[in-house]
Chain A
Amino acid sequence: MTPSPVEALSLEGITKRFGALTANDAVSFSLREGEVVALLGENGAGKTTLMNILFGQYAADSGTVRVFGKTLPSGNSRAALDAGVGMVHQHFTLADNLTVQENITLGAEPLFRLRADRAGARQRILDLSEKYHLSVAPDARVGALTVGERQRVEILKALYRDVRILILDEPTAVLTPQEAEDLFTTLRLAIADGLSIIFISHKLHEVMAIADRVVVLRHGKVTGGVNTKETDKAALAALMMGTQTETPKVANASPGAPLLTLTNVTTRNKGSAPGLKDVTLSLKAGQIIGLAGVSGNGQAAIADVVGGTLAPTTGTLDIGGRKQGNWSPRIAVQNGIARIPEDRHKTGTISDFDLTENAILERYTDAEFSKSGWLNWRAARNFASEIIQKYDVRCPGPDTPIRLLSGGNMQKLILGRTLEANPNVILANQPVRGLDIGAVNYVHSQLLAARDRGAAVLLISEDLDEIMTLSDVVHVIYDGQLSPAFTRGQKSPAELGLWMAGQGYESEVRDAS
């Protein structure tokens, strides 16, 4: 597995600006044939932008990309693919209603050919999936696949086109630790065949496990490059974050009375996402309850039920001991549930509304903001200004459209508008996804402060590290079923990984009967 001296790829002086923001600032690095380079950096460091330039989805403002000595035209994915560069995006680029084979062969043949060799293509897919341990059924509809299987399709898409360089953008973010191991097996097989790999991650242990060399990006610039053999995690962390920022200290909490309880809750499946299956969950005062699991295993359903957008088909939901008959977002908010939604751009805020309009979104019917159908804009504006000040939302003012704010500031507004209502229960669904390290620490410290004030926090995240650091109690969700509660430190990441992969639930049922 020693890389050959042949240079597969070289990036020289890549610069890319988005308005005032410089996402990549004169970035240069190279990759040899058969080598694995990890691109390490915090969220917002410019990793994904750089790879999108390499893959031709963005055009760089300056700089050149060379693949096996040939310069790639800028902003042309087709040319990148033809030169042998393939990319597995963090957000999969698959069409759900098409089959696996259709997704893989899409664009691989000349468009204006009358006969498509379907049998040949199918055989080739089967051969590749056997060779690289990527088992998928060619005729399955992609929408019916699990997240892990979809990733295999993404990788097959690249391999089918004989790529020589494979870019993987945060490939393990959606996998269980075991699935991640399988992925590494596949990647090692590919490397043995002479493929070169760029592996984007911010997880240090993975980087140490798979990469030959690490290139660190910070604020759009290359801040270091080291061979993994000559470094360790601590040194990498220092390189990645620069001056170490303060991560919040987590002290143990003493739980109080249950504030929100789901008892034997079942919900319908939603497309390929499973509904909840007989879930019982108690959120107690002064506690952070972490919900771990591979995405698409029922997290959305549990968030919807707690947040009021979905009523259970069977089972009950009670708040502070009172059983809830009707259930809607408005009732949830009125009962002191604060909701931080998974997608702040699409569900949390209305981009073309200004900060004031977004601040009162959940509570415009309150007497504070409206009387008999007429809004009190002055009160609304004051409320927005208060949040801006108290939660340090960086913006020109309450009349700014929220789409102009950074993700972190948007999240601060959402935090502010919910926390100002002094909620008993906080639903935090992927609260730090896509935020930079400063914003991450801010959000975490606010959640911890709310806990210490006596609120119950339900933290849903795909990042096992985040869950394990913050949660007093951890549940794992798999296919709509909830694991028993594990207290802090009771299970190792690998043990939780087994639960995330669906092991343990059956024995649990057997033990119970």
Chain B
Amino acid sequence: MRLEPLTAPSIVRKVGFPIAALCGTVFIASMLAMLAGANPFSVLGLILKGAFGSQFALLETLNRATPLIFTGLAVAVAFRAKFWNIGAEAQLYAGALMTVLLGTGALPWPSIALLPLLALVAILAGALLLLVPAILKTRFGVDEVVTTLLFNFIFLLFISMLLEGPLKDPMGMGWPKSARLVQDARLPRIFESLRLHWGFGLALISAVGIWVIQTRSTLGYEMRAVGLNRQAAAFAGIPVNRVLLKTALLSGGLAALAGFSEVAGVKASLTLDLSPGYGYTGIIVAMLALLNPLGVVVAALFVAGIFVGADSMSRAANVPTYLADMMLAIALLLMVLAILLTRFRIVRD
């Protein structure tokens, strides 16, 4: 068999294959639910209801989507330039660490000054953390996939060390947990009556901002050129390494905002279970969004919905929550295949 590029793919192809991928995911998930002895229809119903069925559920989904939008954007920006940042998890913790370092009383500033500063410092920390693998790549040609992955392990151990050492909350009853943020370092709610903090607003603004950068700025143009064809970009005079470094800074900063938003908006302190793998899930979010910044918002809501829905489904139907992770992995693999088939035709020979 052979792949033949399509000059003008039909609309049926463009829409049909991605929809088929989603249907395929749901179908396989149903089979898996049956393996667990549950009724597939009720499992799917429970997931939907648990994710979007009530105001409480919906707010939970939006809150869960917030860090995923940030990490999804971080991955989307990096992958667009074919810079494989798999280290959003570590960058997230870098952002969270800075928020806790400066937000637990070190700076007696009012909220209006403190919050922007915390966000900025978080961005810087995440950016710098990713700069190391970026420099190793541009200088020494070290594959960034492995380095960013290994950084996740190193940085989590580093956080663990701090939480059991200098950052340990004396009031924490022996748990490895940091002190709580001062009230001025907490992100306020968007609406007083709703349990949704401004981190979500910041995530939406970031998504639009990244979209504008990618489509209108020279940097966005350079990042796309470098991602599509590094050789041609270099020949045309685009400073490829500098673009990769800028991409890394942007990507690391975005991932760090997820940590800032989780600490300042939700948890108020730093623990080792701050992120249940938001950094890794960001990869799925970005891929499902086809690396489009605005699509990231939609994909993050979808992914968050599956997680939140699976949590409540698991309690009701006694199906392990890992069903959610499996669904996402399957959705990811089927989606990349579907996207390929919107552009190529399979020819037998």
Contact = CB atoms under 8 A, between A and B. Distances in A.
Contacts of B218: 364-365, 370, 373-375
Given A307-B235, A375-B216, A351 B228 contact: yes
A365 B228 CA distance: 19
Interface residues of B, number: 20
A330 B216 contact: no
Contact of B235 (A18, A19, A347): A347
A170 interface: no
Interface residues of A, number: 36
B236 A361 contact: yes
Contacts of A353: 224-225, 228
Contacts of A66: none
Contact of A346 (B4, B232, B349): B232
Contact of B349 (A58, A309, A333): A58
A361 B349 contact: no
Contacts of B5: 403
A333 B216 contact: no
Interface string B205-217: 0000000000011
Contact of B233 (A332, A350, A373, A404): A350
Given A330-B237, A349-B232, A74 B349 contact: yes
A352 interface: yes
Contacts of B4: 18-19
B234 interface: yes
Given A59-B349, A330-B237, A375-B216, A347 B231 contact: yes
B219 interface: yes
B236 A351 contact: no
Highest count of chain A CB atoms <10 Å: which of B216, B221, B235:
B235
Contacts of B54: none
A374 B225 CA distance: 16
B216 A374 contact: yes
A364 B229 contact: no
Contacts of A18: 4
Nearest to A339: B235
Contacts of A75: 349
Given A350-B229, A353-B225, A374-B217, A329 B7 contact: no
B117 to A, nearest CB: 25
Interface in A341-394: 341, 346-353, 357, 361-362, 364-365, 370, 373-375, 377
A362 B216 contact: no
B221 A347 contact: no
A373 B225 CA distance: 15
A48 to B, nearest CB: 17
Contacts of B233: 350
24 contacts: A74-B349, A307-B235, A330-B237, A332-B237, A341-B235, A346-B229, A346-B232, A347-B231, A348-B235, A349-B232, A350-B228, A350-B232, A351-B228, A351-B229, A353-B225, A353-B228, A362-B236, A364-B218, A370-B218, A373-B217, A373-B218, A375-B216, A375-B217, A375-B218
Contacts, number: 66
A186 interface: no
Identify whether the interface residues of B are mostly helix, strand, loop, or mixed: helix
Interface of A: 18-19, 58-59, 74-75, 307-309, 328-330, 332-333, 339, 341, 346-353, 357, 361-362, 364-365, 370, 373-375, 377, 403-404
Given A58-B349, A375-B217, 6 more contacts: A348-B235, A350-B225, A357-B221, A362-B236, A373-B217, A375-B216
Given A350-B225, A370-B218, A374-B216, A329 B236 contact: yes
Interface in B230-256: 231-237
A333 B237 contact: yes
A349 B236 CA distance: 9
Interface string B74-116: 0000000000000000000000000000000000000000000
Contacts of A362: 236-237
Contacts of B216: 374-375, 377
Contacts of A341: 235
Nearest to B233: A350
Interface string B1-38: 00011010000000000000000000000000000000
Nearest to A58: B349
Contacts of B235: 307, 309, 329, 339, 341, 347-348
A367 to B, nearest CB: 12
A347 B216 CA distance: 24
B323 to A, nearest CB: 36
Nearest to A343: B231
Contacts of A333: 237
A33 to B, nearest CB: 29
A58 B5 CA distance: 15
Contact of A361 (B217, B219, B225, B231): B225
Contacts of A403: 5
B216 to A, nearest CB: 6
Contacts of B228: 350-353
A353 B225 CA distance: 8
Contact of B232 (A58, A332, A361): A361
B274 to A, nearest CB: 35
A374 B4 CA distance: 36
A329 B240 CA distance: 12
A494 to B, nearest CB: 36
Contacts of A309: 234-235
Contacts of A332: 237
Contacts of B7: 19, 404
Contacts of B224: 353
A332 B234 CA distance: 13
Highest count of chain A CB atoms <10 Å: which of B4, B5, B219, B229:
B229
Nearest to A332: B237
B221 A364 contact: yes
B219 A373 contact: yes
Interface string B179-220: 000000000000000000000000000000000000011110
B230 to A, nearest CB: 10
Contacts of A59: 349
